Amino acid sequence: MGDLSGIEKQALQALAEVADSAGLEAWRVSHLGRNSALMQVFSSLGTLSKEERPIVGQAANVVKKALESAHAGRMEELNAIALQKSLEGDKLDVTLPGRPYPIGRLHPDTRILRELYRVFAEMGFQVFRSREVESDEYNFQLLNFPVGHPAREMQDTYFIEAENRGDNPIVLRTHTSPGQIRAMRKYSALNPKDPPPIRIILPGMVYRYEQVDNSHETQFDQLEGLAVGPGIRFSDLKGTLTDMARRLFGQQARTRFRASYFPFTEPSAEFDIECFQCGGRGCSVCGGGWLEIGGSGMIHPIVLENGGYDPERFTGFAFGFGVQRIAMLKYGINDIRYFWANDLRFLEQF
Ligand code: PHE
């Protein structure tokens, strides 16, 4: 016991002489470390008698606590002294210009998407988000691509889970069109007898097997559009897409519709926008003067029905286009692979 108070006294004396943080650490090692006199008291407890053991143990703990708190106190003092010193010693020149802070910017893809949201918001379309991981049922079957349908060939994709799922594997969506079914089902469930009209756009990533070249990637954004209501006609579709092109590229922008086929629209059309870079003469961005933007058509009655809308009462149109294609046209980008290559020399131009 006499020992303990000696240990404490000696340690505190030594602490008063510590002048910096290195000294403080050395002090901690020699007075609270594993080989310190105090820790030896703890390790010798086993050699004491049953009666002595708790008494000595408690006393040693009291000393340990005291030393620890003295150590913490000294550390604060030393920090305060060091701060004071640096404040007095180092002069701070507040008139020096600051270092330029590198400011990030929006990815060209985000920019074009926001631009599209603006254009469609002006025409009364709301944004509807739908999932990227889909079942075969939603990605194909409910869109009138039954199992084995040849039109699936164009949209081979990545499988997430196929085992034990028969004809309904989980896939990465090949287009944003499954969102049509999800949206129609959601809205028609609100009032199944008299479902509300719909006017939405559905943006997002899609994944396909593609032969990659300067206008094809295995992953890209689509923007789907869906309008359902009584009396919607093909002319509404044409008007909407033509107006979109004008709002994006200016009044002189021209669009072209070509008859096409999709299982979920009837009739169907592909639509092109005249290349804004070359004015339709043909250039490295567009090739022949027109840029293929996407597909469109009047919603097939089977698809309306699958969505909970009675095809006798409702009609509608849908379209889906490649967002990067629009960005390429708008910003004069001649290779789609730049979008996800993460090359700063490309990104910094936006
Ligand atoms: N989903 C079609 C595709 O990815 C495009 C499309 C959307 C066609 C809507 C018609 C209507 O190729």
Determine contact, residues 186/137, Cβ cutoff 8 Å: no
Q: Check pLDDT > 70 for residue 2.
A: no
- Between the alpha carbon of residue 216 and those of residues 54, 177, 221, 261, 325, the distances in Å are 79, 19, 12, 20, 9
DSSP 265-318: EEEEEEEEEE-TTTTTS--TTTSSSEEEEEEEEEEPHHHHHHTT--TTT-EEEE
Determine contact, residues 297/318, Cβ cutoff 8 Å: yes
Q: What are the pLDDT digits (tens) for 84-111?
A: 888 888 777 788 888 888 888 899 999 9
CA distance 347 to 107: 7
Q: Check pLDDT > 80 for residue 284.
A: no
Interval between CA 56 and ligand 1 midpoint (Å):
84
- Mean pLDDT across the chain, nearest whole number? 92
CA distance 318 to 303: 11
Angle CA 313–318–320, to nearest 5: 170
Determine contact, residues 165/147, Cβ cutoff 8 Å: no
Q: Check pLDDT > 80 for residue 218.
A: yes
- Minimum CA distance residue for ligand 1 atom 10: 296
Strand order in the sheet with 126-127: 126-127, 198-207, 219-229, 315-322, 290-299, 265-274, 255-262
Average pLDDT of the residues in 229-246 = 96
Which one, of 243, 240, 245, 226, lies nearest residue 298 by Cα?
Answer: 226
- Minimum CA distance residue for ligand 1 atom 4: 175
Q: Check pLDDT > 60 for residue 1.
A: no
Q: In this predicted structure, what is the pLDDT of residue 279?
A: 79
Q: Measured on CA atoms in the order 212, 216, 222, 224, is the torsion positive or negative?
A: negative
Q: Which atom of ligand 1 is nearest to the CA of 321?
A: 5
Q: Which atom of ligand 1 is nearest to the CA of 268?
A: 10
Interval between CA 262 and ligand 1 midpoint (Å):
7
Q: In this predicted structure, what is the pLDDT of residue 72?
A: 93
Determine contact, residues 300/265, Cβ cutoff 8 Å: yes
Determine contact, residues 336/220, Cβ cutoff 8 Å: yes
Determine contact, residues 223/320, Cβ cutoff 8 Å: yes
List CB contacts of 162: < 8 A, sequence separation 6 or more: 169, 170
Interval between CA 149 and ligand 1 midpoint (Å):
16
As a whole-number percent, the residues of the chain with pLDDT over 70 amount to: 99
Q: What are the pLDDT digits (tens) for 163-194?
A: 999 999 999 999 999 999 999 999 999 999 99
Which one, of 67, 76, 68, lies nearest residue 21 by Cα?
Answer: 76
**What would the two tokens of residue 307 be?**
């969505």
Q: Which residues pair with 134 in a beta bridge?
A: 171
Which residues form ligand 1's pocket by a CB distance below 6 Å? Answer: 175, 177, 224, 262, 265, 268, 294-297, 318-320
Interval between CA 338 and ligand 1 midpoint (Å):
24
- Minimum CA distance residue for ligand 1 atom 12: 295
- Which of 134, 144, 264, 299 most suits a substitution to test ligand 1, by most atoms within 8 Å of the C-beta? 264
Q: In this predicted structure, what is the pLDDT of residue 215?
A: 83
pTM of the model: 0.71
Interval between CA 173 and ligand 1 midpoint (Å):
12
Q: Check pLDDT > 80 for residue 73.
A: yes
Place of tokens 């409910």: 142
Place of tokens 């889909």: 134
Interval between CA 175 and ligand 1 midpoint (Å):
7
Q: Which atom of ligand 1 is nearest to the CA of 180?
A: 9
- Minimum CA distance residue for ligand 1 atom 7: 320
Would you place residue 230 in the very low, low, confident or very high pLDDT band (cuts 50, 70, 90)? very high
